[in-house]
Amino acid sequence: MKDFSAVIAAFTAFAVTALLGYIVIPYLRKLKFGQTILDIGPKWHKEKQGTPTMGGVMMIFGVVLALAITYSISAISGSRFFDELKTPFRLICFLAGILMALLMALIGFLDDYIKVLKKRNLGLTARQKTFLQLLVSAAYLVTLALAGMDTTYIPFVGDVNISSGIGLIFWPIALMFIYGFTNAVNLTDGVDGLASNVTLVVGCAFMLGAGLLSNSAINVLGAALAGACVGFLIWNSKPAKVFMGDTGSMFLGGMVVALSFGIGRPILLIFAGCVYFMEAISVMLQVAYFKATGKRLFKMSPIHHHFEMCGWGEEKIVIVFSMIAFVGCFIAILPIILNW
């Protein structure tokens, strides 16, 4: 009997997210939860002032409800997804990843809510946000360690022991890895549809990779994420009728991290998440170069704003960056395809 759990998860997440737009967006407008645009951003972004933000809740409900429905159907049909989650380690990894993403979203929600109250594009302080993100990241890693995660897979090398000796260095690196990528996804959310499109590509890549590795739990998780991104794009493509806010972008960041750790190959996110990486690096380079020379390396950072200032339209940026993400994702899953 074929397992259609991933299809069910993707379709349900898409439908729930898309339909919620008819409810959530008018409600956000009623509450006057509009985005405040920074004066230092591109001048033409000022026309987006007041666009409802915190729309990421649509994707969150879409993913969570899709997973709940898929699990229920799987339990009735006795599919592989249900059977796999009977394994304690797989179940803990699956639930811990979802919980971590939800807690990251909660941090983003607090940030968004403070922005709305203050009517400016500043929320939690950098110190507050960093502390909370590191706390969630550490709790996630501790959970994985206690569940029995003692190896990580590196292409061309194989399984590497991370429970003793030099392998213990994996954990502090992993902590900064989670923190870094969560924030990098947040930085990618700067033009209409960019973060959603890029994450759609990344979600599909890990869905495929998990399927090839016979990891049904992460296969379904990736499918739900991809479906939710498509549903959100109905409302977030240019001209965006709603922004995901930090609530959504930090949820997406947590989800892509959960997918990479869920298949035991977080290193693959360096390639699959190359666009996120590029966005974060551009900000760090801009700051370092300005401090050293007093000049800007890019016209504006993150890098997508640089291309905007060079005359690229938002649609072109989304298409090009999505293509880059596709190439990075192909490189990421190639070792899985070839069993390297």
Residue 55 burial class via C-beta count within 10 angstroms: exposed 0-12, middle 13-18, buried 19 and up: buried
Q: What is the mean pLDDT of residues 278-283?
A: 95
Confidence at 86, pLDDT banded by 50, 70, 90? very high
pLDDT digits (tens, 9 = 90+) for 144-188: 999 999 999 999 889 999 999 899 999 999 999 999 999 999 999
The closest alpha carbon to 330, from 267, 268, 245, 255, belongs to 268
Q: In this predicted structure, what is the pLDDT of residue 256?
A: 97
Q: Please report the pLDDT score of residue 51 as a whole number.
A: 85
Output the pLDDT for position 116. 80
Q: Is 95 exposed, middle or buried (0-12, 13-18, 19+ CB in 10 A)?
A: middle
pLDDT for 43 beyond 60: no
Using pLDDT thresholds of 50, 70 and 90, give the confidence band for residue 31.
confident
Residues 217-254 have pLDDT tens digits of: 999 999 999 999 999 999 999 888 999 999 999 999 99
pTM across the whole model: 0.93
| pLDDT-derived band at 2, boundaries 50, 70, 90 | confident
Q: Contact at 8 Å (CB) between 74 and 81?
A: yes
Amino acid at 64: V
Q: Write the DSSP string, 260-309.
A: HHHTT-GGGHHHHTHHHHHHHHHHHHHHHHHHHHSS-SSSSSSHHHHHHH
Average pLDDT across the chain, whole number: 91
Q: What's the CA gap between 318 and 323, in Å, rounded?
A: 9
Asked if the model's pLDDT at residue 47 lies above 80, the reply is: no
> Do 70 and 224 meet the contact criterion of CB atoms below 8 Å apart?
yes
Percent of the chain residues topping a pLDDT of 70: 93
Give the tens place of pLDDT for each residue, 183-193.
999 999 989 99
Q: Are 259 and 181 in contact (CB under 8 A)?
A: no
What are the beta bridge partners of residue 160? 152
Place of tokens 């061309």: 156
Degrees (nearest 5) of the Cα angle 223, 203, 318? 125
